[in-house]
Amino acid sequence: MDKTKEEQLDNQQNKPLKEPTIWEEKGISRRDFIKFCTAMSAALALPVTFAPKIAQALDEIKRPTLVWLEFQDCAGNTEALLRATTPDVATLILDILSLDYHETIMAAAGHQAEEALNGVLRDQKGKYICVVEGSIPLRDDGIYCCIGGKSALSIAREVCGNAFATIAVGTCASYGGIPAAAPNPTGAVGVKDAVPGATVINLPGCPLNPDNLTATIVHYLTFGKLPETDSHGRPLFAYGKRIHDACERRSHFDAGQYVEIWGDSAHRNGHCLYKMGCKGPETYHNCPTQRYNMKTSWPVASGHGCVGCSEPNFWDTMSPFYKRLPNVPGFGIESTADKIGAGLAVATAAALTAHGVISAVKKDKDTDEKMEN
Of 128, 253, 284, 314, the one binding ligand SF4 (CB under 6 A) is 253
CB of 285 to ligand F3S, least distance (A): 4
Select the binding partner of residue 299 from ligand SF4, ligand F3S, none (C-beta < 5 to 8 A, by kind).
Answer: ligand F3S
Of 179, 210, 233, 305, the one binding ligand SF4 (CB under 6 A) is 305
Identify the helix (H) or strand (E) that includes residue 23.
helix 22-25
Query: Is the backbone of residue 310 left (phi > 0), alpha (psi -120 to 50) or beta?
Result: alpha
Of 205, 233, 281, 299, the one binding ligand SF4 (CB under 6 A) is 281
253 touches ligand F3S by CB under 6 A: no
243 touches ligand F3S by CB under 6 A: yes
DSSP character string of 212-247: HHHHHHHHHHHHSSPPPB-TTS-BHHHHSSBHHHH-
Of 219, 234, 249, 323, the one binding ligand SF4 (CB under 6 A) is 249
Q: Is there a contact between 305 and 278 (Cβ–Cβ < 8 Å)?
A: yes
277 touches ligand SF4 by CB under 6 A: no
273 touches ligand SF4 by CB under 6 A: yes
Q: Which residues neighbour 120 within 8 Å (Cβ) at sequence distance 6 or greater?
A: 65, 67, 100, 101, 128
Select the binding partner of residue 272 from ligand F3S, ligand SF4, none (C-beta < 5 to 8 A, by kind).
Answer: ligand SF4
Distance separating alpha carbons of residues 312 and 320, to the nearest angstrom: 16
280 touches ligand SF4 by CB under 6 A: yes
Q: Which residues neighbour 373 within 8 Å (Cβ) at sequence distance 6 or greater?
A: none
299 touches ligand F3S by CB under 6 A: yes
Of 1, 122, 16, 145, the C-alpha closest to 69 is 145
| Residues in touch with ligand SF4 (CB under 6 A) | 243-244, 247, 249-250, 253, 272-274, 278, 280-281, 300, 305-306
